[in-house]
Structure 1
């Protein structure tokens, strides 16, 4: 007898957002009509507008979910890493590697079950953020929050340096998250940039050199 738990059924809003995200990443915001999302999901137009006021409302909710997943993953990775070691550098090394796994579409430690299916910010583009201020505001607030998630850990590592390095943990944390988002963005233009591991390994080497 199979005792495996039944898969959790996705709610209608989540299914709509799942389909919309895949379509936005592939075709861009302006390349996706509400009717296409409805047809792909198999719901009625009334059902769509019951859950979302408009495509812009859907995009806002989708961005919020996207950034919530990044923040949750960062926290889960940090918690799992802290359970494996007491050494700040080893903890940071685990965090950087696991976060790279997240952006590379692989499962990560710590219960973060979902990878990032494409860069939603890249799909929406800078022009769209200028056209729809609400999307820019959501993104700016979220980025300022999650980009400093590992700042305290970077500060602990910097404290082990032989001499002051003249850079803060917050700056290094922002630099790392910008590296990940930037690599994800550029990889949409040139697939050769999809080697996240190479980018993270280079970042670790530069950080190690900084601490010596």
Structure 2
């Protein structure tokens, strides 16, 4: 008979992370207890500590999982946009439209961003977790700045535009749209904000 223990351990870790993310987004990290997690997943406390040495370790794993998911999402959307258009400006505009459409297809307001949630309670975490979160934000800046550099090389900006600031605006629009959409329980806010940013980018460059 095949030994399924490694598979079960992997499944347990995955279920812990999924439940922890739901709870952290719903009520914050400090209010998410280990006891609630072990009851929700149906394991013992020693089972939890087999996977995570403490809550800080759980936060690190949650953040790593979140950043991997974000990277995969951005990669997929950029790949689809690149297939549809080779022009750097038009490709970026297609990317933003695809992003807006994806957000618009959500059945209800997005539950929020894990990275932002952890930022609000960063005093709870070790330095390496805080630095990991910051590196994730900087990765978004780098990814979008690379695209904007290609655009600017072909289409000089109409006015003086700081490309790092413009790259950061993608993150700020998304995070702000998530907060406002959740507060007002209006899932249309985020896609509308992304489309507004799309129009700003279009007008910022000579095309």
Which TM-score tier does this pair reach, normalised by the shorter chain?
Answer: 0.7 to 0.9
**Cα distance, 1:48–1:187 mapped onto 2, change above 3 Å:** same
**Structure 1 residue ranges (4+ consecutive) displaced by more than 6 angstroms after TM superposition:** none
Residue 79 (structure 2) pairs with residue 79 (structure 1): yes
* Structure-2-length-normalised TM-score: 0.81
Deviation at 1:98, TM superposition (A): 2.6
* Structure-1-length-normalised TM-score: 0.79
Give the conservation status (yes or no) of the 8 Å contact 1:13–1:51: yes
Give the match for residue 129 of structure 1.
122
Which runs of no fewer than 5 residues in structure 2 stay unpaired?
Answer: 1-6
Give the match for residue 27 of structure 1.
27
CA RMSD of aligned residues (A): 2.7
In the comparison of the two structures, how many residue pairs are matched? 196
**Higher relative contact order structure (alpha carbons within 8 Å, sequence separation ≥ 6):** 2
Which runs of no fewer than 5 residues in structure 1 stay unpaired?
Answer: 1-7, 107-115
What does 1:184-195 correspond to in 2, within 5 Å? 184-192=178-186, 194-195=188-189
Give the match for residue 182 of structure 1.
176
Give the match for residue 3 of structure 2.
none
What does 1:1-212 correspond to in 2, within 5 Å? 11-101=11-101, 103=103, 106=106, 118-126=112-120, 128-134=121-127, 135-161=129-155, 165-192=159-186, 194-212=188-206
Q: Which has the higher helix share?
A: 2
